[in-house]
Structure formats: C-alpha cells, structure tokens
Amino acid sequence: MTTITPFATVSGNTVRSSFAILSPGDKRNHYAKIDVAEVADLMLKGLKDSNALQGTKGTVIYDAETTRWQIKATVGAPVDIMAHRGVGRLHALTLSLQGADNGTACITGFGGAERLRCMNATKSQANLPGMNWRKVHKGDPGVIRNLIAGMPARFGALVADLRSVWARASAEHYLDADGGRLSPKEAITRLVGNDLIPTGGKSTEDAIAYYVSAYAAEDHPESAAGIIMAIQRAAHECTWSTKWSTVEIEESASNLLYQPVYTLAEVEV
C-alpha cells in the first residue's frame, strides 16, 4: 500500500522507524545506510538555508510492498503573481529524490521545470542542468549526503531568479521612446513589427490579431507579464502555419521575460 505524507511532517522520528536500508556497511563494496527520513531532513535543511522553503509544497510517497520512496518539492511559478492563469507559461520548479529501502537500489536526484503546454492542462518537463544524478548505496555514505545537500542550494538560486524576473515583468510596462505607457495592442504591434515575436507564417496583421485576441481572453493586467503570458496562450490557442510555430512563439515569449529593457521602437504596419 502506498502512503503519502505531508512534506512538512517528515522529520525526526516521524517515519524513521519505518524505513531502513538493508545490508548496511561502510566498506567500499558494502551498502551504506541512508534512509528516507535522513534524506528528507537533508532536503528540508537545504531548502531552509537557501530561503526556498516558503511557498514550497512537498510529499513523501512510500510503497510498503516494494519499499520504493520518493520525496518531491514543488515551487509554483510565477510565485509573485498567482492571480495569473495563463497557459504555456513556466508553471513550476521541482526537486525530486527517489530510491528504495531494500539495500540494492540507487538514490536518484532530479531537478526539473514544468510547463503547462495547452488548454487541456497537459504538462511537459525539462531537466535543470547540473541537478540530475544517480548513485548506488555503496562505499562512503557521505558522498550521497553531499549530493543530496547540494541540490537545494542550486534549486533555491533558480527559485529566486524565477521570482525576480516575474516580479519585475509584473511591475513593468512596455513603453514608447518618450517613456509613455503603450496599450497592450500597441505593445503587441511593436513586438511583432520589431521581430521580437514571430508571425507563425501568417500575415503581420493576422498575427497581431491572434495575439491581441489571446490577450483579451487572458484578461490580464496591462503589464509586461500580462502581455508575455498572452503571447504564450496564443502559441497554443491559435492556428499557425506549421506545427513548429508553437515552440518558436513560446521561446520568443520566454526571451521577452528576460529582456532588461521594455522600450519599443515605433513601427508601421
């Protein structure tokens, strides 16, 4: 039977007596004991030290028949503008550790980013560089402990970066050269006219109409973030010329999120 335990309660002796690695030993060819409660403690401490614990959701899943377990921490994004409900956006960062308490399995670490890709809420997941590893319970257990402890620090830095760029985009607006705020339609027109977002094989006028329609459907504020998320919605909701257009438009929206300047040159359409 599989049991799910709230992440915050997995510490101390809560589950320690229920989990154990068999064939423990500290010699080179023997299995080292690292149970799931110790893994959870290391992850919790790392998330606290990296200021990534607040807003993090997590679970511990254990199957008594197979002794397999998974600890997963998830941070929803964008954290600072939760009222937004767009599709296509980067939806969450995840940190996962899994293994089995049977003395023969590996511990596997995984860091990933999830994206809500389409209107029926299917998700895609991409690996985060430098956060994925697999280690057998052999030899010095300190090696595994160091791998586990190192993951939350990198995860915390990514969470801080994600919060920062979304918070900035939600507070900023696209501007004219004189500093005047552009309407969403004018901002989209200039983004297309300056080749910052693609037309997807459509005419310039049709592409602008698609993006403006997606903005109206999103019902977002007139912030840069609202427009970026509308572009991501249009990638999935509109009919483009090729199947590759969706990816191209999504990538252009992601690039806009990291643009440091929101001033757009005037164009003729």
- Please give the Cα distance from 37 to 49 (Å, whole number): 18
The pTM assigned to this predicted structure is: 0.62
CA angle 42, 43, 44 (to 5 degrees): 95
Q: Please enumerate in sequence order all residues whose Cβ is within 8 A of that of 145, keeping only pairs 6 or more positions apart, or say none.
A: 34, 38, 42
Summarised one tens digit per residue, pLDDT across range 235-258 is 878 888 887 888 888 888 878 887
- pLDDT number for residue 13: 36
Predicted confidence at residue 204, as pLDDT, reads: 94
Residue 198, helix vs strand vs coil: coil
pLDDT tens per residue across span 165-222 = 878 888 899 999 998 999 999 999 999 999 999 999 999 999 999 999 988 887 777 8
pLDDT tens-place string over residues 101-137: 766 668 889 888 776 554 444 455 556 667 888 888 7
* 111: phi then psi, degrees, rounded to nearest 5: -120, 130
How big is the chain by its Cα radius of gyration, in Å? 23
Query: What does the alpha-carbon distance between residue 163 and residue 168 come to, in Å, rounded to a whole number?
Result: 9
Alpha helices in the chain (DSSP H): 36-49, 141-171, 184-193, 204-218, 224-237, 245-257
